[in-house]
Amino acid sequence: MSEENTVIEEETVETVQEETEQPEAPEAKTDEVDPIEAAVQDRLQQMKQNMDRMVRERDEALKKAAEVEQAQKAAEIERLEAEGKLKEALEMKLAEANAKLKVFEEENTKLNRDNVVNTQLATLEFRNERSRQMAQRDIVEQLVQNENGAWVHKSGSSIQEFIDSYSKSEDNSFLFRVKANSGAGTSTPSAPSQTDVTKSLSEMTSEEVLAMAAKGQLGQFNY
């Protein structure tokens, strides 16, 4: 083998090695998170955590207060019965039963209220279930019962009217999906209605034929 051929082979090997040692280009990331969506989700998460914490603290406080009150009533009834004051003890038991019945009625009323609210919310497009739950709690907290016992917004508007206004408020836009902007589309004009032709073309005047042609009632012709 000549020296010239040896040099050519060495250069070819070096070229092949350089090509094979080139690092591969990093693959483009296709699952990048939208920063706006991430910020919205973070805000929703923080609000949900705060609301859940407040609800837990309230429920725990109410539960403890109810337990203390119940223990005091039971002790008082026991004392009255021990002293032979059966009428007073019976009246306390009756009052307690009426109080429990009132609580059950209030819970039933709240369930009916929540059902109405959830039915209206079902027509809206929320970002996710978490945002729907936040809207539901926010709306319910602003509802009161009127003199007829019906649930309305504290301003006096109906639940449907309030929810409609709530969904259109800019302050609550982060709860809902962004609607795609289809642009100022143009409506497709409807085709002119066909009228029955009672006369043949040979019986029509030139003005009638031209009028039908202008209305597109003569069809299309290929010349």
pLDDT at 119 over 80: yes
Work out the angle at residue 15's Cα, subtended by the Cα atoms of residues 9 and 18, and round it to the nearest 5 degrees. 145
pLDDT exceeds cutoff 90 at 152: yes
Mean pLDDT (the chain) is 77
| Helical packing angle, 86-121 and 35-82, nearest 10° | 170
pTM of the model: 0.43
pLDDT(37) > 60: yes
> According to the model, what pLDDT value does residue 8 have?
52
Backbone CA torsion sign across 143, 144, 146, 150: positive
Residue 27 has pLDDT above 90, yes or no: no
Contact between residue 152 and residue 158 where contact means Cβ atoms under 8 Å apart: yes
Highest mean pLDDT range out of 5-9, 31-35, 104-108, 178-182? 104-108
Q: Is 161 exposed, middle or buried (0-12, 13-18, 19+ CB in 10 A)?
A: middle
Gap between the Cα atoms of 9 and 170, Å rounded: 73
Distance CA 196, CA 176 (A): 51
CB atoms closer than 10 angstroms to residue 54 = 10
Mean pLDDT of 22-30: 53
The gap between the terminal CA atoms of the chain, to the nearest Å, is: 80
More confident residue, 44 or 139: 139
pLDDT at 106: 84
More confident residue, 35 or 160: 160
Quick one: average pLDDT of 40-52? Answer: 86
- Here the tokens at position 211 are 């009028």
Question: What percent of the chain shows pLDDT beyond 90?
Answer: 26
| pLDDT band at residue 51 using 50, 70 and 90 as cut-offs | confident
3-state secondary structure of 157: coil
Q: Is the pLDDT of residue 196 over 50?
A: no
Burial class of residue 162 in the structure, from the number of CB atoms within 10 Å of its CB (0-12 exposed, 13-18 middle, 19+ buried): buried
Is it the case that residue 178 has pLDDT exceeding 60? yes
Q: Output 218 or 65, whichever has higher pLDDT.
A: 65
Q: Residue 126, SS3?
A: strand
What is the C-alpha to C-alpha distance for residues 91 and 93, in angstroms, rounded to an integer?
5
3-state secondary structure of 167: helix
Among 119-123, 184-188, 216-220, whose mean pLDDT is lowest?
184-188
Does the pLDDT of residue 79 top 50, yes or no? Answer: yes
Amino acid letter at 11?
E
pLDDT at 78 over 70: yes
Q: Tokens for 219? A: 């069809």
Residue with tokens 């009217």: 161
Whole-number pLDDT of residue 192:
43
Percent of the chain with pLDDT over 70: 66
